[in-house]
Chain A
Amino acid sequence: KNQVEQSPQSLIILEGKNCTLQCNYTVSPFSNLRWYKQDTGRGPVSLTIMTFSENTKSNGRYTATLDADTKQSSLHITASQLSDSASYICVVRDSGTYKYIFGTGTRLKVLA
C-alpha cells in the first residue's frame, strides 16, 4: 500500500536553532515529492517540489533533500523563527494514478 510516514510527530525548538524533519515513503511508481507548510487554521502552502532526479532544493531557510533509492526525504529549517511554528506535510505523487499521498505531518513549535 502506498504510504508516507513522517517523523517526529511533534517537535519543540528554541528560536534560532536548526531542525530536520523526516519523511519516508513507499509510493511507487514515484513522480515527485512535495513539502507543504500548514499554519494553524490555514490551508497548506507549497515549500518545495522535487522530482526523481533532484536530490536537494531550497526555499529561503528551508532545504529539502531527497534520496529516491532509499525513499527518504528530509526538510531542514535553518535559524528557526517564531513564524516557523506550523505543521509540515510531506506529499508524494504517484506517477501511475497521478494522485497525491499525504503524510500526517510534523507539528513544529518554535519558542522564544
Chain B
Amino acid sequence: NAGVTQTPKFQVLKTGQSMTLQCAQDMNHNSMYWYRQDPGMGLRLIYYSASEGTTDKGEVPNGYNVSRLNKREFSLRLESAAPSQTSVYFCASSEAFWGGGNQPQHFGDGTRLSIL
C-alpha cells in the first residue's frame, strides 16, 4: 500500500521551461490537492479536486494548471517556470473534500523543484 506517490522527487528547470508533476493515490480517495511549501510559510493550496472531474483554484493558482486524469491521478503543470516557483510541492488526498469528518489528509513525500 503505497499511499500517495509523487514523481519526480527532484527537478531542476531553467526559467521558461515547462514540466508536469505527477501524483497518484491508491486509497480510493475522492479528493486530491496540490500544495507548495516555502521556508517560513505554511503549506499553501495551489489547486484541489474535490471529486473526479472537478478542479478548483486554491490560494496561489497563478502560473499553474492541473488535470484530474482519473480518480487515482492528479497532475500539476508549470507552463512557463519562473524562479518564484522554486519550492517543495506536495500532493495530498482525502476521502472527501465536502465534510470528510475527521479523516486526515494523506501526503506524498514531495517534489523538490528548483528553477534557475
**Residue ranges of A at the interface with B (Cβ–Cβ < 8 Å):** 4, 32, 34, 41-46, 49, 51, 89, 98-105
Contact = CB atoms under 8 A, between A and B. Distances in A.
Contact of A98 (B43, B97, B107, B110): B97
Interface residues of B, number: 22
B110 A43 contact: yes
Given A100-B45, A104-B40, A43 B109 contact: yes
Interface centre among B43, B92, B97 (most CB of A within 10 A): B43
Contacts of B109: 41-43
B58 interface: yes
B41 interface: yes
Closest 9 CB pairs of A and B: A43-B107, A102-B42, A46-B104, A102-B43, A49-B102, A43-B109, A104-B42, A44-B107, A42-B109
Given A32-B102, A43-B90, A89 B107 contact: no
A98 B42 contact: no
